[in-house]
A = this chain, B = another copy of it.
Amino acid sequence: MSAPERAAAQAGPTLRPARTEATRHKLFAASMEIIGERGPHSVTVDEIAAAAGVSKGSVYYNFGSKSEMIGQLLRFGGDILLERLGRLADRPDPRQALAAMVGEALDFLDEYPSFAQLWVSEMWHSASEWRPILSRMRGEVIDLVRAAVTRIDPSGPDEDLDTLATAIFGATLALGRDRHSFHPERSRDACVRAVMRSVAHP
């Protein structure tokens, strides 16, 4: 448990000192930037601290360890994505809801490419330190997709709906990363259309 966590545990809903919050956010921003590009193992705590403009000691004071810092970073990013997708889930037209979610996901992958890269790298990695966090995120996202898919066509066995949701999830993730790495010219719409073909026939 890092020092601020200890303090919070003792003091109840402390108004967190502004200085700590600022340091944490500088570290989030800097890590997000460089960890996605170079990978969590290739980036050193020194580099993160330098990029954030704080001392190395601050990382340990605020997060306790490098691993924990990355974990909180992932939670931070995952919450943003889930919040954004959740907002679109209850649109009246189910097909439009799914399309909106795919589009929103593409936007998110575009805005947080480093988070996206980290997710793809670690989610299926059996020995990843962040597997619990990432597989929970994967589960929640796929649940949202499956719900949308089910509203479009509730027939068929549950297993098939889950499989379809996973396929949509994978296609979206791949298109998002591909736009970043290989095809920046590819339009968001074209990607949404390609993904939506799997639920396209009325």
In the complex, which range does the number of interface residues on chain A fall in? 35 or more
Given contacts A39-B41, A181-B126, contact A194 B121 (CB under 8 A): no
- Set of chain B residues within 8 Å of A167, measured between Cβ atoms: 171, 174-175, 191, 194-195, 197
What is A's interface to B at a CB cutoff of 8 Å?
37-39, 41-42, 117, 120-128, 135, 138, 159-160, 162-164, 166-175, 177-178, 180-183, 186, 190-191, 193-195, 197-201
25 A-B residue pairs with Cβ-Cβ distance under 8 Å, sorted by A, are: A37-B126, A39-B127, A41-B41, A120-B121, A120-B124, A124-B177, A124-B178, A124-B180, A124-B181, A126-B181, A160-B193, A162-B186, A163-B194, A164-B194, A166-B171, A166-B175, A166-B183, A166-B194, A167-B175, A167-B191, A170-B171, A170-B175, A171-B174, A173-B174, A198-B198
Distance (whole angstroms) from the CB of A34 to the closest CB of chain B: 9
Q: Tell me how many chains of this kind the complex includes.
A: 4
Q: Is the interface of A mostly helix, strand, loop or mixed?
A: helix
A127 touches B42 (CB 8 A): yes
- Set of chain B residues within 8 Å of A172, measured between Cβ atoms: 170
The answer, among B166, B168, B193, for a CB contact under 8 Å with A178, is B166
